[in-house]
Amino acid sequence: MPFGLLKYGLRSEYKPQPVLPKRPELKSSYDVVIIGAGGHGLAAAYYLAKVHGITDVAVLDKGYLAGGNTARNTAIIRSNYLTPEGVAFYDEAMHLWSGLSQEFDFNLQVSNRGHLTLAHSDAALRTMRWRAEVNKHMGVKSELIYPDEIRKLCPQLDLSKNTRWPILGALHHPPGATVRHDAMAWGYAHGASTRGVEIHQHTEVTGFQRDGDRITAVETSRGTVQCGRVLQAVAGSSSRVGDMAGLRLPIRTTPLQACVSIPLMPFLDPIIVSGSLHTYIWQTARGELVMGGAGDPYPGYFTRSTLDFKEGLIAHVLELFPFLGEVRFMRQWAGMTDMTPDFSPIMGRTPLSNYYIDSGWGTWGFKATPVAGKRMAETVATDRVPDILSPFDMQRFLRFDQVGERGAASVGH
Amino acid sequence: MKVMNCPLNGPRNIQEFAYGGEVIPQPAADAGAEPWADWVFMQNNTAGVVREWWLHVTSGYWFIAERDTVRDQILRTYPASEVFRVRMDVTAPEATAWGGESK
């Protein structure tokens, strides 16, 4: 890459490189149809082409490229989960993240700055200790630290006893990082399309044609395509698409709001999360504070922002950083999260023989993009679910066999 | 959706209420594991008008709301007695020891 960069720098002309070629007409059939051109769908297409040599693939999206939750998350990546199954899964993603900019030859702005999950009660301290020990057992760097060490990592935090819920300790996860989420999507999209995958934006799936337990064709707003295999990877529309395929899912689609402040001088190094206070906050390279909290208290298919969400969120942000009281908001937005009963995803096979699902990503999907894409590509290519995905089988709820990650995945309680 | 009309207390700030899930009849007590797992875990997750349980937390009053989950609008709220009009007599199944066989 350095020589390519040098050559590029010595050019007399810089032609803009489009991320994607012009959208073609839909062919009459594809080996694989991926529904959803978000991070997960694009990543699956990329690994199908790159690793498995499967390039007769169409990725369909009713909207624009990665305009759903991939565009709306708060871009944090980490693997400090609670269950061994969860930790193994998200840590595979962390290993993939670290090489992605190089692989794409495109800067994903992976900013490894460390992640602190604050504990404000004895029960929370116990959970952080539990997570730290499971993490270490699985080879992931995490440690329970106390206010003296927290102060060294983030001196701006209010670590006094003058708060309603004083900070007693924190789970420190040094590998925690942030990524430019759009760049990741473009990297996967470009990598997939240069290998022959077709990406069809503004192409809505309207139904399926079925023969027994096989989907034979996908009906879209731009025509019908025969398909060998189908992968559903639509966050926010999982039940709507799943219904068309006759699937029964344990998903409640719920808005998750987030917001960003005006740019400030850089002061916040690590990513700060508080489960007890339903708050997370980090500062971008442009100085903006990205802030998020719990999902909305009732399900819905909308992305509007509310005042009461911000009142709750900022009350807790000011407990952590009281000096931010005068700072202004710059932007607010929301995504639609597919919440599952155990805060773990739904991945793998469905009762249909050629229809695969990558869903139930709730508030924990962005960080998993590389491993979800890679392992779902493997599942679709080999028609076999790899062991690392088997705990997330869609039938696990009927067996009461949940992978409980509520505390580690989310700040909503 | 900022104000919800509680059938008992009148229009109140939406923050005074808690969502209680879709109104779906429970399976019979002896229906078996699968219908119960379906009732507990599976969701219709309907994009459209849904009939739901809501709780006015401040007064502890449960009622039913019809809400459009796409347009973020509450169409109607009413007491549960509009839907539940028949008295149910529940007989508890016979108690069994742990590890014993159930009927």
pLDDT tier, A9 (very low <50, low <70, confident <90, very high otherwise): confident
Residue B101's contacts (CB-CB under 8 Å, 6 or more residues apart) are none
Q: Using the beta-carbon criterion (under 8 Å), do A398 and B34 form an inter-chain contact?
A: yes
Taking CB atoms and an 8 Å limit, are A300 and B18 in contact across chains? no
Judge: A299–B69 Cβ closer than 8 Å, yes or no: yes
- Contact flag B47-A251 (C-beta cutoff 8 Å): no
> Between chains, do B69 and A300 touch, taking CB under 8 Å as contact?
yes
Q: Which of A79, A107, A104 is nearest to A94 (CA)?
A: A79
Residue A390 vs residues A336, A344, A384: alpha-carbon distances, Å = 25, 12, 10
Query: Please, are residues A191 and A50 in contact by the beta-carbon 8 Å criterion?
Result: yes
Q: What would the pLDDT profile of A192-235 be if each residue is shown by its tens digit? A: 999 999 999 999 999 999 999 999 999 999 999 999 999 999 99
The tens digit of pLDDT for each residue in A125-156 reads 999 999 999 999 999 999 999 999 999 999 99
pLDDT in tens, A231-253: 999 999 999 999 999 999 999 99
DSSP-assigned letters across all residues of A288-331: PEEEEEPPPSS--S-----HHHHHHHHHHHHHH-GGGGGPPEEE
Amino acid symbol at A188 = Y
pLDDT at site B97? 65
Instruction: Please check whether residue A351 touches B, CB under 8 A.
Output: no
Instruction: Check if A251 contacts B (Cβ < 8 Å).
Output: yes
Query: How many A×B Cβ pairs under 8 Å?
Result: 55
CB contact under 8 A, A248 and B18: no
pLDDT over 70 for what percent of chain A? Answer: 99
Interface test with A, best of B22, B45, B51 (most A CBs within 10 A): B45
Interacting residues of B31 by C-beta distance below 8 A, sequence separation 6+? none
DSSP state of A170: E
Going along chain A from its start, the domains and CATH numbers come out as 23-73+182-250+342-409 (3.50.50.60), 112-175+252-339 (3.30.9.10)
Cβ–Cβ below 8 Å for A300 and B42: no
Cβ of B43 within 8 Å of Cβ of A308? The answer is no
The answer, for A223 touching chain B at a CB cutoff of 8 Å, is no
- CB atoms A398 and B19 under 8 Å: no
Confirm or reject contact between A211 and chain B (CB < 8 A). no
Distance CA A163, CA A257 (A): 25
A350 touches chain B (CB under 8 A): no
Alpha carbon distance A151, B83 (integer Å) = 57
CA-to-CA dists, residue A1 to A99, A106, A191, A315, angstroms: 13, 10, 16, 47
- Contact status of B32 with chain A (Cβ, < 8 Å): no
Q: What is the pTM for the complete model shown?
A: 0.93
User: CB–CB of B15 and A308 under 8 A?
Assistant: yes
Handedness of CA A141, A143, A147, A148 (dihedral sign): negative
Confidence of residue A2 (pLDDT cuts 50, 70, 90): confident
Domains and CATH numbers, chain B: 3-27+46-82 (3.30.2270.10)
Residue of B nearest to A312 (CA): B15
In this predicted structure, what is the pLDDT of residue B101? Answer: 56
Tens of pLDDT along B41-97? 999 999 999 999 999 999 999 999 999 999 999 999 999 999 989 887 777 777 766
Q: Is A287 on the interface with B (CB under 8 A)?
A: no
| Rounded-to-integer distance, Cα B91 and Cα A248, Å | 31
ipTM for the predicted complex comes to: 0.89
Report residue A401 as tokens. Answer: 């066999």
Query: How would you class A333 by CB atoms within 10 Å of its CB: exposed for 0-12, middle for 13-18, buried for 19 or more?
Result: middle
Q: Assess B45–A contact: CB distance below 8 Å, yes or no.
A: yes
Find out whether A60 and A35 touch, Cβ atoms under 8 Å: yes
Identity of the residue in B37, B38, B70 whose CB atom sits nearest the CB atom of A301? B70
Contact A93, A370 (CB under 8 A): yes
Q: Is the pLDDT of residue A105 over 80?
A: yes
Which chain B residues are closer than 8 Å to A240 by Cβ?
47
B33 to chain A: closest CA residue: A398
**Phi, then psi, of A290 in degrees rounded to 5:** -90, 125
- For position A412, what pLDDT does the model report? 65
A335 pLDDT above the threshold of 70: yes
Q: How far is A332 from chain B (nearest CA, A)?
A: 17
Q: Across the interface, which of B42, B46, B67 has its CB nearest the CB of A250?
A: B42
